[in-house]
Structure 1
Amino acid sequence: MTRNALYIGREWSVDHNRRAKVSDGELRYAVLGEGEPVVCIHGTSIADSLITPLKFYPPLLEGYQLISYYRAGYNGSTLDKDALSIEEGAEHVRELLDHLGLEKAHIMAFSFGGVIAFQFLLSHPERAHSAILLEPYLPREDPNAVQANIDAFMGAMKVYETGDKLGAAQRYMESVCGPSFLPAVEMTGPLDVWDRVEACVDTTFTVDFPAISQWGFKMSEADRFGPKPTMPILAVMGLDSESAMPGFRETQRFLMEWLPQAERCGIPNATHGLQSMNPVAVGEAALSFLRRHPMDG
């Protein structure tokens, strides 16, 4: 954990009180701060696990306009069908930018949200000025990593099938991020964070997981998926992520080898839940990167 105390009052939630109509749904979103726009894309299960922890690093909000949205099916954002592909999720990002009248924005995304962001960079590179990828959960190929991912999913699915939705979500999080992640979420998320997670578990298991399993991208065949993104990219990894679950080092190496412009960043005392476990360090890294790559530069 960060050495700094995490204190900004009693309730740390962010009110996503605006709405944008997109294909097959409506997204709730919030705008915090002023300056160049940064679209924040959350991962599975915890829709508040990106924007809320970032509030613990006020300089980021003082210099940039953070646009956080709940992905379709999460926290009141609607999905008008039973499935949503990774490509369709990337289109939602484009439609949100259109709704906001933004030609370009910085992108900051975590885990499953990083997969959507990665697809967005492939599909609409002209709309992203830069990207901060917090351990995007790209499909693993190393056998040990593949098996670890299968074990995590199957263990959580067994719990989900019993009807214990919150238990299933937490089982998966603990398998991927390690046991110290859950108390970190409890202390860097809203007071009712687990109620919010429980209400959205069906989206995690019936929409997100099938979407990533059906996504066609493979790191070993990346060149056939179109031109490489050329915008500045920061590949961020928790220093303890690989010890909690194999696969994150493989993804980090891919990003550094495939993208010659990519920069790297390590977050100490953090596993895959890096921005929940050390939000100050993530905020510092994001601010430094954004300042290095201004839109008017």
Structure 2
Amino acid sequence: MTQNALYLGREWNVDHDRRVEVKDAELRYTVIGEGEPVVCIHGTSIADSLITPLRFYPPLMENYQLISYYRAGYNGSTLKTGELSIEGGAEHVKQLLDHLGIEKAHIMAFSFGGVIAFQFLLSYPERAHSAILLEPYLPREEPDAVQANIDAYMGAMELYNAGDKLGAAQRYMESVCGPSFLSAVEMTGPLDVWDRVEECVDTTFTVDFPAISQWGFKMSEADALVGGKPSMPVLAMMGLDSESAMPGFRATQRFLMGWLPQAERCGIPNATHGMQSMNPVAVGEAALGFLRRNPMTEAAAVPVPEPVTAGAL
């Protein structure tokens, strides 16, 4: 393992070799490592864009039990209905924990997966010890962010309706994360990452996008919509270049820091919205530091190691 290069040999895949039946779906999942459990929830389109890049920071997997699953409709996980709400996605996380006999876990989630994680914190706060949120894609409200999101969606939908499914997914990712994100995915995902993406595009466009548009949460109405704020430790990560690629991420970061007084913030250099693909070492380093500062028991607390890079701010 090198400190500066992303090198793990030829294939950087993580085999999700287990299955579990949940409500209206069957999920493929895997469990890596030992220690306190950390559930990883991926975003749209690229189901391998969280657990796979994290392999480039081995200390995380050496000290924690990472539970990664493919959301319903992705990479062999099936969905028996034509839709799945955000609340339903959060229920799947709960049912996976029930299946594994885990009463409480840390949650780490990215983008659309961060929305599911956020709903999980609202619906099942007793099951989450802490949460690491990598730019959860909460609904935009500022005019420039709303328009940018509409433009990204419409540009991708044009290609999707024309039958270019992979092009649609990549167009949307490029609009949200910037063009350098695609190269990062190419080098931090499995060799067949784009084949996997192409097979799952229907889920992205016909299940995920409708779910987020129908979700009832609004940042500006959070106090009225939520009876009790989540009180567990929360780390809000943000790519330092995310806002330059697409507006809206800064407003979400400000909301999390303002609404959750216990929240901590973390900036990931040289990264936009796809931070864990673009700078996985920094993301892993920051996640490990946060988890070690927030153990499930005081006896489990261990010192945070010296960073191997100047990754996280």
> Do Structure 1 and Structure 2 share a fold, with TM-score over 0.5?
yes
Partner of 1:280: 281
Give TM-score, length-normalised by structure 2.
Answer: 0.94
TM-score (norm: length of structure 1): 0.99
1:142 is displaced (CA, Å) by: 0.5
Name the count of aligned residue pairs: 296
Gaps of 5+ in 2: 299-313
The answer to whether the 8 A contact 1:135-1:252 is kept is: yes
Which digits, 9 at most, give the CA deviation of each residue in 1:104-155, with x for residues without a partner?
A: 0000000000000000000000000000000000001100000000000000
Structure 2 partner of 1:261: 262
The aligned residue for residue 85 of structure 1 is 85
Equivalent pair of 1:122/1:226 in contact (CA under 8 Å): no
Is the CA contact (8 Å cut-off) linking 1:131 and 1:233 kept in structure 2?
yes
Deviations 1:145-173 (A, max 9, x none): 00000000000000000000000000000
Aligned residue identity for 1:120 = F
Gap regions ≥5 residues in structure 1: none
Q: What SS is found at the alignment partner of 2:73?
A: coil
Mapped pair 1:29 → 2:34: no
Q: Aligned-pair distance for 1:3? A: 7.9
Partner of 2:157: 157
Matches within 5 A, 1:152-231: 152-223=152-223, 224-231=225-232
- Tell me by how many angstroms 1:4 deviates: 1.4
1:6 partnered with 2:6:
yes
Q: Distance in 2 between matches of 1:235 and 1:295?
A: 19
1:123-142 superposed matches below 5 A: 123-142=123-142
Please show how residues 115-126 of structure 1 align to structure 2 within 5 Å: 115-126=115-126
1:61 counterpart residue number: 61
1:226 deviates by 2.3
In structure 2, distance between residues paired with 1:10 and 1:55? 13
Partner of residue 289, structure 1: 290
- Which of 220-229 and 113-122 deviates more? 220-229
2:226 & 2:206 partners in 1: Cα distance? 26
Corresponding residue of 1:243:
244
| Cα distance in 2 for residues equivalent to 1:103 and 1:20 | 17
| Aligned-residue CA RMSD (Å) | 0.9
Partner of 2:266, secondary structure, is: strand
What is the distance in 2 between the residues matched to 1:296 and 1:137? 31
CA distance in 2: counterparts of 1:8 and 1:64, whole angstroms:
20
